[in-house]
Amino acid sequence: MNKLKEKVALITGSRQGLGYAIAKSFLDEGAKVIINGRNQKEIDVVAGQLRKEGLDNVIGIEADVRNQIECFSMVEKIINKWGRVDILVNNATDSIVLNSEDVSSADWDKTIHTNLSGSFYCSQAVAKLSMLKNKSGSIIMISSVLGLGGSRQRAAYCAAKHGVIGLAEALAVEWALSNIRVNTICPSNIMTPLEMEDALTGRCGYTTEDIEHRTPMGRYSTPEEQARACVWLASDDSSFTTGSIIKTDGGWSAYMGW
């Protein structure tokens, strides 16, 4: 416990699912946490729920990560509140499941800008306004097993998540002498409500049984398991780890079958 005591952590796209699990795990470890989303009322509800559980050091700040100005404004608000940003988790995501020949420019832009541009804008903001001055920080990118390979009907998502890995490696090298560590986790399928809905409706082209069969460990990951990997990367336990790609995928990327 308290691996992140007094650390200030921003988790983008943290109203629900994986982002929420990361936020809660960070709070449990003593961090001061900023919940982020695109609707202030909704993120205020989430922050309020966490405070009711006794996790008091949490606030919500609305910002669209696709907008560079909003990202900088969000970080300025955090600094005004808590003085700095120690940890950033670039978790905000979007995807389109569609045959590549049918993907519109709007579909493409939304997926690329949410996953990749947003990760850059938020990283840029926390580095420029806080981490470079303090010569300390941990930035965690949430990529995917689809950032390591390809899949049907996922061209935009695969391109974005491959890009996130390249971005993380570039920033890790550039900011290493300022003691800013930048790492990536690559989860496979995570048991979130949205993922379950996707699998049960078949709109993503697979079932829960397909995923369980395809994953060597025979099951979905839980959000809490992914969050624990983020706690390690955010903490001093990983003080010499930067530019790393950690496969939190139950063996998915190691397995060549189906």
Amino acid at site 32: K
Q: How far is CA 36 from CA 20, 65, 119, in A?
A: 10, 9, 13
Q: Using alpha carbons, select from 186, 184, 182, 185 the residue that is nearest to residue 174.
A: 182
126 in Cβ contact with 132 (< 8 Å): no
Catalytic residue, from 157, 206, 220, 255: name it: 157
In the residue annotation, 220 being an active-site residue is answered as no
Distance (Å, whole) CA 178 – CA 187:
28
Amino acid at site 153: Q
The pair of three-digit structure tokens given for residue 169, joined into one six-digit string: 């490696």
Q: How far is CA 57 from the centre of its chain?
A: 20
Q: How far is CA 22 from CA 2, 18, 108, 150, 227, in A?
A: 14, 6, 27, 26, 5
Which residues belong to the active site? 157
